[in-house]
Amino acid sequence: MRIFGSQRLDSVLQKLGLQKGEAIIHPWINRALEKAQQKVEARNFDIRKHLLKYDDVMNDQRKVIYGQRIEIMQSENLSDLIEEMRHDVIEEIIKRAIPEHTYIEQWDLKGLKEDCKIILGLDLPIEEWASEEGIAESEIKERLTLASNAHMAEKQVLYSGEFFRNMERSILLRLLDQSWKDHLLALDHLRDGINLRAYAQRDPLNEYKQEAFSLFQSMITALRQSVTAALSHVGEGVGHFSKGELPHGIDPRAHESSKEEIERMMAQFGLEDGEGLQSQGPAMLPEVLPAPEKSLRRNDPCSCGSGKKYKACHGKV
């Protein structure tokens, strides 16, 4: 009533001459209480309605991600999508290292070569290409694309078609889910402090929409690079695993359908005829735990045979 009540209510109560502890019963006061309650409910409704606008931003992004995820799960062949992502990544690293309308001396050749190693899994003579007379950005991009396509074609020859398709889907879904969870956490942190923008005479909701869209674009870019890097480095370091171990993220059930595929994968990881599992011996068997003892009361004889009560022997605190 002090905040949402009428301004004249105080003067009305003084005119009525009410004493301390006396019940307040008057039609005017009842109507004032009803109006104050309506104002409180309207204010709370506006707050909830405003908060839903923040949730709508996240919900729009969720629809995009879930739609992409459903498309990935229902698609039988993701080669076109993976290739498109890889070509987008090549274009991004080219733009980052070779800005438009710049001279060769201004190109970041060292950074481009490092990106090719980390993301594309390629060790290319970038400096030699740049030293060629009349070389242009488009030609370097074309050479990178051809080298990347040949590199991925070798991966597909190394593994069978069905197994490689399942691996592409597994890697893409796993990285997509992880990127989306990290993005949701970033949005929560952004929302916690976005209201401080109001001190700078800015609308927190509009600021949240802009920042959330920027974070979403960064997530998509990072996802493309992560997927491209993961698939480009598939099969590298196969001989560095000890017997009986598999790299994290590889599901052995993904290639159960073909005996030849299983034998080939076991040979690549240094396993022959189950040697990696047999070498573990009894260490792989589950430990047999002793049966639990019968519950003893404090005054029962101790099970050790000492003749003492349980509370004075092994049950002593």
List, for residues 43-100, the tens digit of each pLDDT value.
787 777 777 888 888 999 999 999 999 999 998 888 899 999 999 999 999 999 888 8
- Domain span at residue 45? 9-56
Q: Are residues 144 and 188 in the same domain?
A: yes
Per the prediction, the chain carries an average pLDDT of 77
In a domain, 315, yes or no: no
pLDDT tens across 147-204, in order?
A: 999 998 888 888 877 888 888 999 999 999 999 999 999 999 998 888 888 888 888 8
Tell me, yes or no, whether 224 lies in a domain.
Answer: yes
The β-bridge partners of 301 are: 309
- Among candidate residues 173, 204, 236, the one where a domain is terminated: 236
| Structural domain contains residue 253 | no
Looking at the fold, whether 25 and 115 belong to one and the same domain comes out as no
pLDDT value for 216: 95
Q: Taking the model in full, what pTM does it have? A: 0.61
Does 98 lie in the same domain as 180? Answer: yes
Are 216 and 95 within one domain? yes
Number of domains in the chain: 2
Residue 207 lies in a domain: yes
**Is there a single domain that holds both residue 180 and residue 41?**
no
Final residue of a structural domain among 201, 236, 271: 236
Measured on CA atoms in the order 269, 274, 279, 285, is the torsion positive or negative? Answer: positive
Same domain, 25 and 113: no
Distances (CA, A) of 167 to 45, 58, 64, 228, 229: 49, 30, 23, 13, 14
Q: Do 106 and 216 belong together in one domain?
A: yes
pLDDT in tens, 237-263: 543 333 334 334 444 444 343 445 445
CA separation (Å) from 257 to 126, 172, 246, 252?
42, 22, 18, 11
Alpha helices, H only, the chain? 9-16, 27-74, 79-97, 109-115, 126-131, 137-158, 161-193, 204-232, 259-268, 275-278
Q: Are 84 and 177 in the same domain?
A: yes
> To the nearest whole percent, how much of the chain has pLDDT over 90?
26
| Domain CATH for 190 | 1.10.3060.10
Which of 209, 236, 263 delimits the end of a domain?
A: 236
24 and 120 both lie in a single domain? no
